Amino acid sequence: MKLRQNQLWRSGGEHYRIVRLERLSVDYKTVDLNDPDGGTHHTVTKKEFCRLIKGATEVEEKAS
């Protein structure tokens, strides 16, 4: 699995967008698709984030 900035992941009913990706940490926010500008920011280690999205699917962005 290759993590990239601005990726959107779906796990159950939750959506997670990677805001900033560093070598050992990930800043992400939980996203409500009806309000993409809102959400709660979190900072975790890369290992914790990978555990969070284990079994999740990446949501592909539609090109406009």
Higher pLDDT, 5 or 1: 5
- Give this prediction's pTM: 0.84
Note whether 31 and 16 are within 8 A (CB).
Answer: yes
> Is the confidence at residue 1, as pLDDT, over 60?
yes
Residue whose tokens read 């992941």 = 9
The predicted-structure confidence for 17-49, as pLDDT tens digits, reads as follows 999 999 999 999 999 878 877 889 999 999 999
pLDDT value, residue 61:
72
Q: What are the residue ranges spanned by the domains of the chain?
A: 8-59
Q: How far apart are CA 8 and CA 10, in angstroms?
A: 7
Cβ count near 2 (within 10 Å): 5
**How many angstroms from the chain centroid is the CA of residue 52?**
9
